[in-house]
Amino acid sequence: MQNSDRNSLLKLALALSIITIIYNIIEGVISIFFGLQDETLSLFGFGVDSFVEVISGIGIFHMVLKIKNNGNETRDEFERKALRITGTAFYILTVGLVISSFYNIWINHKPETTFWGIVISSISIITMTLLIYYKKKVGDALNSEAIIADANCTKTCLYLSFILLIASVGYTFTGIGYIDSVGSLGIAYFSFKEGRESFEKANSDKLCSCDNH
């Protein structure tokens, strides 16, 4: 591969990481706003998760920039620190969602509407699918295990979007309040999983616990 082609691919990888960060910020703000307004815990939890993903995304951006500058894919202390912060935030989110979900089930809380959950999750599914596709394409072209691992780990965001969509559609058509809480518990499960994987990556040179998924 010529240097010009490699540089172009690395610039695209950087652009994809920046898009991921910006998208998660926007998604987080909108999801939390409508989650609070409509009293839907699954959408609120989804929004908080998006903000945690921003921290992870900054670590990925740093990694890609490092690959571009010196070709080094070894994890450095900045990335490890970002992963530990990310893992801690995911664990806090997990505890908050579990407690809130069971409380909402106990009092039979019902959201005002889950319309925005359907809209946001649908947009997220399309966006994450495209990001996974292009990240994997760039990673394969560069033969970069780190970028391919990032593409594979982005699948978790896709799974969360499907959980939100199912919970939102389920409530819209049935009006059963605990469906929103069950969706929140699904998001809590993946948050816990992401937190555990973040600490595993921070404490080793493992690129992604979902490499083979």
pLDDT digits (tens, 9 = 90+) for 110-165: 999 999 999 999 999 999 999 999 999 999 998 888 888 888 888 999 999 999 99
- Judge whether residue 213 has pLDDT over 70: no
Query: What is the distance between the alpha carbons of residues 54 and 32, in angstroms, rounded to a whole number?
Result: 15
Task: Please give the residue that has the higher pLDDT: either 186 or 212.
Answer: 186
pLDDT tens digits, residue range 33-87?
999 999 999 999 999 999 999 998 998 899 888 888 887 777 788 888 988 999 9
Q: What residues contact 57, with CB distance under 8 A and at least 6 apart?
A: 17, 20, 21, 24
pLDDT tens digits, residue range 7-27?
899 999 999 999 999 999 999
53-62, 89-98, 177-186, 196-205: the lowest-pLDDT one: 196-205
- Judge whether residue 97 has pLDDT over 90: yes
CA atoms within 13 A on the CB side of 89: 17
Query: Helix or strand or coil: residue 47?
Result: helix
pTM over 0.85: yes
Query: What is the distance between the alpha carbons of residues 9 and 7, in angstroms, rounded to a whole number?
Result: 5
Query: What is the distance between the alpha carbons of residues 213 and 209, in angstroms, rounded to a whole number?
Result: 9
Q: Which CATH number fits the domain 3-202, given the four candidates 1.20.1510, 1.10.10, 3.30.70, 1.20.5? A: 1.20.1510
Q: What residues contact 189, with CB distance under 8 A and at least 6 apart?
A: none
